[in-house]
Chains A and B, each alone.
Chain A
Amino acid sequence: MNPPSAARGPQPRTEQIILFRVSSHLFAISSASVQEVRSVDNIAGLARDLPDSTIRKVRHSIRRGDRTLYIVNAALHFGLQPEPAALVFFLRRTRTALLVDGIEKMTTMSRLQALSLAFQGEERNWYRGLTALDQAVIPVVQPEGFLSLAELTLLEAAQLAADTRLISAETSGAQVQ
């Protein structure tokens, strides 16, 4: 006999996630954190070089409305061997556009396990925790963890230098004409 429905506990809340690949590793991100997914080819003409960037994982920026987003190579962020990236995730409420190899699938997770206290490195900023899907363990990334405040400050300086260089090049071009 089935127990009465009133006796059942509350259903666990679930979260929609996107499983994506970076250098043969699988990661998950909350689909609510991803504002838009574009192909790399699609944004190639819009990305601006950041030659003065001292952050190895960021070499380009992109303008989105009135904001500048920094294009973060996910492989370099995680210390992996980079492979040709195919997609860019524009992350909501961050200054990050994330270069990834591809999307594996969209699915649902019902439990997120906090990272064990044995993990004491940068991964504590990288991940919200771990989830188990189909007998595999997948790290769930923290969208705010791709660029620290210090990195953003350096990138803003690099962006300013690039903008200044562009303006002076345009000005000198106009004078020659």
Chain B
Amino acid sequence: MITALESTQSFVLLRLGERRFALAASQVAELVAPSRIFRFPHRSPALEGVVLRRGRMIPVCDIAERLTGKKLTTSRFFLLATRKFGGQLDWIAIPVSGDCELINVDMMEAGSNDSPHVAGWLSHGGEVIEVLRLAVVTPGPAQHEGGAGSPAYAEARP
């Protein structure tokens, strides 16, 4: 017997190439036009650089290659989303290739056979859509549990 928990929540549907995925709306902060990506040397290959948005420097992570096998050649928007590591909220900008849509639907929880990046499944417009676990598809600390960590902003000190 298959047991599935369903709960009605808000989700943002996003397009990566030919496929659509969903994120819990509570994780999505904003959808913005692509802006200049500032690049500097680093060793986190999943990140392209950072964008500057209202004084906040947000890393850009193209998750399309990991999820669809193809890098996005053009991005129409950046979806600004948040992940929570311990008590710390961490922002990330995800390039998406089409319009995003806010929907309210029931989510079927992921099963034990699903990939770790799948939080659940949605049925919408004749499609079955993966709900993404953002902390799994984007880079972050290996330990997602833990203390509050260092503050996101520090006053400059001589």
Which of A27, A32, A114, A136 is close to B151, meaning CB atoms less than 8 Å apart? Answer: A114
CA distance A122 to B42 in the complex (A): 7
Residues in A with CB closer than 8 Å to B85 are 117
Which 9 pairs of residues, A with B, have the shortest CB-CB distance?
A121-B43, A15-B156, A137-B38, A78-B41, A123-B42, A118-B59, A117-B90, A122-B43, A121-B44
Task: List residues of chain B with CB within 8 A of the CB of A27.
Answer: 40
Supply 5 A–B pairs (Cβ within 8 Å), ascending by A.
A78-B41, A112-B154, A114-B150, A116-B58, A129-B154
Task: Write the B128-158 contact mask toward A (1 if CB under 8 angstroms, else 0).
Answer: 0000000000111100000001111111111
Contact (A111, B56) CB under 8 Å given A118-B61, A118-B90, A118-B138: no
Number of A residues near B (Cβ < 8 Å) is 36
Give the Cβ gap from B133 to chain A, nearest Cβ, in Å: 15
Q: How many residues of B contact A (CB 8 A)?
A: 36
Cβ-defined contact, A80 with B138, below 8 A = no
Binding site for B on A (CB under 8 A): 12-16, 25, 27, 30, 32, 78-80, 109-114, 116-123, 126, 129-132, 135-139
Closest to B154 in A: A112
- Which residue of chain A is the closest to B149 with respect to CB atoms? A117
CB of B47 within 8 Å of the partner chain: yes
B151 cross-chain contacts in A, Cβ below 8 A: 114
* B residues whose Cβ falls under 8 Å from a Cβ of A: 38, 40-44, 46-47, 50, 52, 55-59, 61, 83, 85, 88, 90-92, 138-141, 149-158
A117-B155 contact in complex given A25-B41, A123-B44, C-beta closer than 8 Å: no
**A111 contacts B155, CB within 8 Å?**
yes
B141 touches A121 (CB 8 A): no
The 8 Å CB contact of A13, one of B59, B149, B157, is: B157
Q: Is the pair B43, A114 in contact by a Cβ cutoff of 8 Å?
A: no
Q: For residue B156, which residues in chain A have a CB less than 8 angstroms away from its CB? A: 12-15, 109-112, 131
User: By the criterion CB–CB under 8 Å, are B40 and A137 in contact?
Assistant: yes
Among A112, A119, A121, point to the contact of B155 (Cβ < 8 A).
A112
Q: Which residue of A is nearest B144, CB measured?
A: A117
Least Cβ distance of A106 to chain B in Å? 13
CB distance from A139 to the nearest CB of B (A): 5
